[in-house]
Chain A
C-alpha cells in the first residue's frame, strides 16, 4: 500500500499491512456510538488516527475498545487522539513527536488487563496541537519487534499547524 491518507490536518503514510483511519466523531456519534455503554468515546469531536495490523470493527472506542481484545500476538494497535487547545503547553504534554521504545511497554498500562498484551501511552504537542498516543501490542514478549513495527507507522504521521 502506498500513498497517504489526509484529513482534519493530519496525514499518515500508508504502510503495507496496516489498516489506517483518520476520523473525527460526529456530534451524533458521541451520543449514539455506544448504546450499550461498552464503547467509551472521548466526548469531544476532535480528530484522531486509528491504525492496526488487523481489520478494525467500525464501532470501537477512542482507545481501542473492541480492537485490543482481538489483537493477535503479532499485531499492533495505535490511537493518536487530539486534545483541546487548552492542553498545549500543559506539563503533561511534552514537545515533539514521540518515538516508542520497547521498554515503554507495560502490561499494566492497559485499562483492562488482557493476557500477553502490553501498552504504552504518551502525551505530546506538535505543530501547536496536543495529542495522546496510545499503543497496544499483542505480545509483551515480542515487544522489540512490535515496537519497531509501530514506529514505522508513526514515522509517517504528519501534523498540520493549528
Chain B
C-alpha cells in the first residue's frame, strides 16, 4: 500500500510539473503574440478570413489568429513588378483591368504555404477554390530571400509567379501565407488575410466579395439618401465568368 501511494504521489508530482510547464509556455506565447499586435477577440478589421500571425524565426507555421492592425483593405492597389524564377523582368497589372486579382504572398520555407503552392499550381483546384473570374498571382520575395529554383519547383508551369520584395512592402505583408484581393475595376484592395488550409481560400474570397458588395451598397444607399444617386450598388460575384460561353469552353478544353 505504501509503495502504491509513493508511485501515485510521484506520478501526480510529475503531471503537476508538466502542467505548470505548459502553462508557462502558453503564457510566453500569448505575451509574444500580444507584442505582435494579435487580437484574441473579435476580428477588428475587415479581412478575408482567419488570419495568421507571423511566428518568430524561419519556421513560419501559421496559426488561426487575426493579423495585426493597419491593413491594406481599401487602399489603392499597386501593380506587381519583379522578376520571374529565371530572373527575367516581369510586370503584372492588377489595376485598370476588368478582373479581380488574388495576390498570394507565399514563401518556399513556410510549411503552411506548401498546401497553397500545391493547390494554386493545379489549374483545376485553383479554379475550384477561386473561380475562373479571379486571376491568381503568387508573389514570393526576391532572390536575396528566396531560392528561384525552389520557387520554380513549387509554382510549376501554370501559376503566374513574381519574385518581388517591393510587392511585399507595397501591401505591408505581415506573414506568409498571406492573401490580398484586388478589384481591378476600382483599383482598390477589397480583402486581405491569411489562412491555414487551402480549403479556407474559397470562403475567404466569398467573404471578401460579400464585404465589398455590402460596403458599396451602404455607400450607394448613403448617397441615395442624400439625393446624389438614385440606385443602389451592385453585388460582386467572383465566381461568375462574364466572358462568352464559347470562350469558356475553349479555356476548359485547353
In the assembled complex, the Cα of A101 lies from the Cα of B81 at a distance in Å of: 30
Q: Which residues of B contact A74 (CB under 8 A)?
A: 98
Known contacts A17-B97, A74-B98; decide if A55 and B90 are in contact (CB<8 Å): no
**Cβ of A37 under 8 Å from chain B:** no
With most chain A CB atoms within 10 A of its CB, the pick from B86, B88, B158 is: B88
Select one of B90, B96, B157, B247 contacting A21, CB under 8 A. B90
Shortest beta-carbon distance, B51 to chain A, in Å?
Answer: 25
- Interface contact A55-B89, CB-CB below 8 Å: no
B137 and chain A: residue at smallest CB distance: A55
- Interface contact B254-A20, CB-CB below 8 Å: no
Chain A, range 43-69, C-beta contacts under 8 Å to B: 53-59, 66, 69
Known contacts A3-B81, A57-B157; decide if A72 and B247 are in contact (CB<8 Å): yes
In the assembled complex, the Cα of A108 lies from the Cα of B79 at a distance in Å of: 34
**Cβ of A109 under 8 Å from chain B:** no
In the assembled complex, the Cα of A29 lies from the Cα of B88 at a distance in Å of: 13
**Cβ of A73 under 8 Å from chain B:** yes
- Interface contact A1-B91, CB-CB below 8 Å: yes
In the assembled complex, the Cα of A18 lies from the Cα of B81 at a distance in Å of: 12
Q: Which residues of A contact B2 (CB under 8 A)?
A: none
- Interface contact A1-B160, CB-CB below 8 Å: no
Shortest beta-carbon distance, A161 to chain B, in Å?
Answer: 20
**Cβ of A22 under 8 Å from chain B:** yes
Interface size on A, residues (CB 8 A): 35
**Cβ of B95 under 8 Å from chain A:** yes
Chain B, range 224-254, C-beta contacts under 8 Å to A: 243-244, 246-247, 250-251, 253-254
**Cβ of A157 under 8 Å from chain B:** no
Contact with A along B155-177 (1 / 0, CB 8 A): 11111110000000000000000
B243 and chain A: residue at smallest CB distance: A72
- Interface contact A59-B93, CB-CB below 8 Å: no
Shortest beta-carbon distance, A95 to chain B, in Å?
Answer: 27
**Cβ of B92 under 8 Å from chain A:** yes
A22 and chain B: residue at smallest CB distance: B89
Chain A, range 1-23, C-beta contacts under 8 Å to B: 1, 3, 5-7, 14, 16-23
A59 and chain B: residue at smallest CB distance: B157
In the assembled complex, the Cα of A69 lies from the Cα of B79 at a distance in Å of: 24
Known contacts A17-B97, A26-B86, A53-B97; decide if A58 and B92 are in contact (CB<8 Å): no
Known contacts A5-B91, A16-B93, A16-B95; decide if A29 and B86 are in contact (CB<8 Å): yes
7 additional A-B pairs beyond A22-B89, A59-B157, A73-B244, beta carbons within 8 Å, are: A14-B91, A55-B160, A57-B158, A58-B155, A69-B250, A71-B247, A116-B246
Residues of B at under 8 Å CB distance from A?
79, 81, 84-86, 88-93, 95-98, 101, 135-137, 155-161, 243-244, 246-247, 250-251, 253-254
